[in-house]
Amino acid sequence: MCAYLRIVNQNSQQVSVTLIMGKSRVTPKRAVTIPILELQAATLAVRVGDFLTQELHKPECQQHYWCDSKSVLGYISNEARRFHTYVCNRVQRIRDSTTPTQWNYIRTDENPADLASRGTKVSQFSLSWLYGPEFLSDASFSVSDLCGDNFKVHEDDPEVRKVVTLTTFSEDKLEFLRIFDKYSEWERIWSIIRCILSLTITNPEDRIMHSILIMLQKAYFSEEIDQLQQSVPQLKKTSVLYKLDPFIDQSGVLRVGGRLKNSLAPFSVNHPAVMPAKAHITKLFARSVHKETAHQGRMATINAIRLKGVFLVSQGNRLVASIIHHCVKCQRLRGSPMTQKLSDLPEE
Ligand SMILES: [Zn+2]
């Protein structure tokens, strides 16, 4: 690392360049990559730059840095990639004191700092060590000529942290649904969805159930929806919906098919929307319907759910039975009266 002071006489355009400080470090014994060593040198240069600013008391003095490693210049100017902690900390140190536009590229054969790191014979000692690279002494050189190239970090650079992203579409949706797990009342879910919808539509009441159904179906039945949206809808036999002959209605809701097209009952009852019994929201919905039926039994609750245009898929009956089993009011109403154990009879 070499620091030079360049002074230009504005009147005579005379240029004076001189070495004011030079520093070099011994390479550590452990295996370290060349870009890491170059980065250490760049960090050292910034520290020296800060030191000189403090000592010279010349705030108008501009600082420019040159480095012969394009990898390091890439690290400094990079905004997007994440580096390993070691590189990250040093780049941060450099960015604390300098901006990427202050950094420029210099060819290795022009770089006087190389003399310190490589070593040289007195006979071959170049004056560039004392007076800097030739272009600095050129009166026509101006700092405004420095283009501040945008150096790129190569994708295969060993210092770029490899980020492996595994994304499963349905898992993402399930992750999204987990934000509702902390709510224990269906009415709360209803009001949250209403609030969200009211941001975009004026009359959200009619769309709340539709939105909840779409959200759940996309999370739990995304594969089936994809298969049904193909030009020739073909559902896999292994699907839990296979026996329900499902279809997607005009509003995008997945509904149970069947032979009740000619029935006079409402469309939503003939072809109820599919709701996954596993979902937490479904559990809250079924519990709310159970309360609406004045805590009636399993079949009455399931019928009430069907009348609301919903069909619980994969063990819906078990879900309703579990809700009734854990319902405090039902336990109290249906529980057998307790009996008291009588004391022993007297002697006679
Ligand atoms: Zn109950």
CA–CA separation, 255 and 246 (whole Å): 5
User: 298 CA to middle of ligand 1, Å?
Assistant: 10
Q: Helix axis angle, 316-326 relative to 298-307, nearest 10°?
A: 120
Question: Where are the domains positioned within the chain?
Answer: 2-145, 170-334
Tokens 């039975």 -> residue: 321
User: 183 CA to middle of ligand 1, Å?
Assistant: 19
> Are the beta carbons of 282 and 312 closer than 8 angstroms?
yes
Q: What is the pLDDT of residue 169?
A: 47
- Strands 273-276 and 310-313, how do they pair? parallel
Q: Could you say which DSSP state residue 83 is in?
A: B
**DSSP labels for 176-221?**
HHGGGTT---HHHHHHHHHHHHHTT-S-GGGGHHHHHHHHHHHHHS
User: 54 CA to middle of ligand 1, Å?
Assistant: 77
CA–CA separation, 289 and 284 (whole Å): 9
For the segment 83-105, the average pLDDT, to the nearest whole number, is: 85
CA–CA separation, 205 and 211 (whole Å): 10
pLDDT tops 60 at residue 332: yes
Query: How many CA atoms lie within 13 Å of 263's alpha carbon, on the beta-carbon side?
Result: 12
Q: What is the pLDDT of residue 328?
A: 93
Q: What is the pLDDT of residue 162?
A: 67
User: 267 CA to middle of ligand 1, Å?
Assistant: 29
Helices and strands in the chain, H and E counts: 15, 8
User: 182 CA to middle of ligand 1, Å?
Assistant: 21
User: 324 CA to middle of ligand 1, Å?
Assistant: 5
For the segment 291-310, the average pLDDT, to the nearest whole number, is: 94
H/E element holding 75?
helix 70-77
User: 295 CA to middle of ligand 1, Å?
Assistant: 4
> Are the beta carbons of 83 and 159 closer than 8 angstroms?
yes
Percent of the chain with pLDDT over 90: 23
User: 251 CA to middle of ligand 1, Å?
Assistant: 33
User: 166 CA to middle of ligand 1, Å?
Assistant: 43
CA–CA separation, 30 and 35 (whole Å): 15
**Banded pLDDT at 171 (limits 50, 70, 90):** low
Q: Within 10 A of 99 (CB to CB), how many other CB atoms are there?
A: 11
197's tokens: 């919808």
User: 178 CA to middle of ligand 1, Å?
Assistant: 26
Q: Helix axis angle, 70-77 relative to 85-97, nearest 10°?
A: 70
User: 301 CA to middle of ligand 1, Å?
Assistant: 10
65's tokens: 């840095």
The string of pLDDT tens digits covering residues 1-36 is 888 888 888 887 788 888 888 888 888 777 777 888
**DSSP labels for 296-312?**
--HHHHHHHHHHTTEEE
The pLDDT mean for the chain works out to 84
User: 289 CA to middle of ligand 1, Å?
Assistant: 10
User: 294 CA to middle of ligand 1, Å?
Assistant: 7
